[in-house]
């Protein structure tokens, strides 16, 4: 049987209408109802009717977690199981749920608080860079204060995070095909998120993690592990740490993975994996029609 990775997208992959088709499945409807009790608002209402709210971190992250977790449950009901899991930023919480590290409710409580803390961040920003020389970029960042690589997505795409002045200085020092400022409230995945990370750490500390049933590739340490203590420590450092997705992609063929299934809206992760590792086939599960065709 083909060795398969399940990968879970994060903030930025949301789209109005996502998850609505799942309402026809009783178990999915029950999960949406459980989520409403925890969140105090309806994921379905936001995803169906409010594009402005859906773009807001407080609503984006829990909505993605709930919908992707439902898709995990539905894949399991069809007897499917991955050989390894990974998620991009917020998506790592779904990966941990899929691996049995914590239950749905625990994950959602964590995501809810994470989203609130990140939404309160008001310092700095993020800019996506496409088409650049990596050595030149790394040299510019090393020579510039208050800016880091936040998302190392592929050889041709990164996101830098930091102060407005730091980001502008880096962009001015390098040749880049496109520099796209992101609509976020702060400098996510950078040291500027230290206050939010400290508050989140207080919530995370007493929560029990279980050893994973499936190896997980974490954002900050893309080496497969099932160890609960390591997974918890890695998640604890994720808000300030970089998303090392390029390294995660490169790990997949080394681990014998032949196919990656992106579980959630959009095709961003599948595209990044395919551009990094041409030998790996990619597929998507974002709704009922995809569930019927996957196997």
**Which of the residues are catalytic?**
89, 189
User: What tokens were used for 112?
Assistant: 């809810």
In 36-156, beta strands by DSSP E: 84-87, 125-132, 147-154
User: What tokens were used for 82?
Assistant: 């991955």
Task: Check: CB of residue 282 under 8 Å from CB of residue 274.
Answer: yes
User: What tokens were used for 92?
Assistant: 């790592």
Q: How far apart are CA 20 and CA 35, in angstroms?
A: 15
CA pseudo-torsion sign 138, 270, 233, 107: positive
Task: Check: CB of residue 136 under 8 Å from CB of residue 103.
Answer: no
User: What tokens were used for 61?
Assistant: 């992250």
Q: How far apart are CA 186 and CA 205, in angstroms?
A: 24
Phi, psi angles (nearest 5°) of residue 263: -100, 100
Q: How far apart are CA 42 and CA 33, in angstroms?
A: 8
Instruction: Return the residue matching tokens 């590739």.
Output: 217
What are the Cα distances from residue 74, in Å, to 29, 91, 223?
Answer: 12, 17, 27
Burial of 73 (0-12, 13-18, 19+ CB in 10 A): middle
């Amino acid at each position: 049987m083909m060795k398969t990775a399940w990968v879970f997208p994060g903030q930025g992959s949301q789209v109005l209408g996502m998850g609505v088709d799942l309402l026809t499945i009783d178990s999915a409807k029950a999960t949406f109802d459980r989520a409403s009790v925890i969140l105090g608002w309806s994921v379905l209402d936001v995803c169906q009717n409010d594009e402005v709210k859906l773009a807001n971190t407080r609503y984006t992250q829990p909505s993605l977690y709930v919908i992707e977790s439902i898709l995990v449950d539905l894949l399991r009901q069809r007897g499917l199981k991955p050989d390894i899991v990974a998620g991009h930023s917020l998506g790592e919480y779904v990966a941990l749920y899929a691996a049995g590290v914590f239950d749905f409710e625990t994950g959602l409580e964590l995501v809810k608080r994470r989203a609130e803390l990140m939404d309160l961040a008001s310092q700095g920003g993020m800019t996506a860079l496409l088409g650049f020389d990596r050595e030149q970029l790394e040299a510019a960042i090393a020579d510039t204060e208050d800016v880091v690589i936040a998302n190392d997505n592929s050889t041709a795409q990164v996101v830098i995070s930091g102060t407005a002045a730091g980001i502008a200085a880096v962009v001015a020092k390098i040749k880049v095909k496109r520099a796209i400022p992101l609509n976020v409230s702060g400098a996510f995945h950078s040291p500027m998120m230290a206050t939010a990370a400290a508050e989140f750490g207080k919530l995370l500390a007493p929560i029990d993690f279980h050893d994973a049933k499936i190896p997980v590739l974490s954002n900050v340490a893309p080496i497969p592990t099932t160890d609960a203590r390591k997974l918890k420590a890695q998640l604890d450092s994720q808000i300030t740490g970089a998303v090392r997705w390029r390294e995660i992609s490169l790990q997949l063929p080394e681990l014998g993975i032949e196919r990656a299934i992106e579980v959630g809206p959009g095709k961003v992760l599948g595209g990044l994996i395919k551009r990094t590792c041409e030998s790996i086939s990619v597929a998507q599960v974002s709704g009922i029609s995809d569930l019927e065709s996957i196997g």
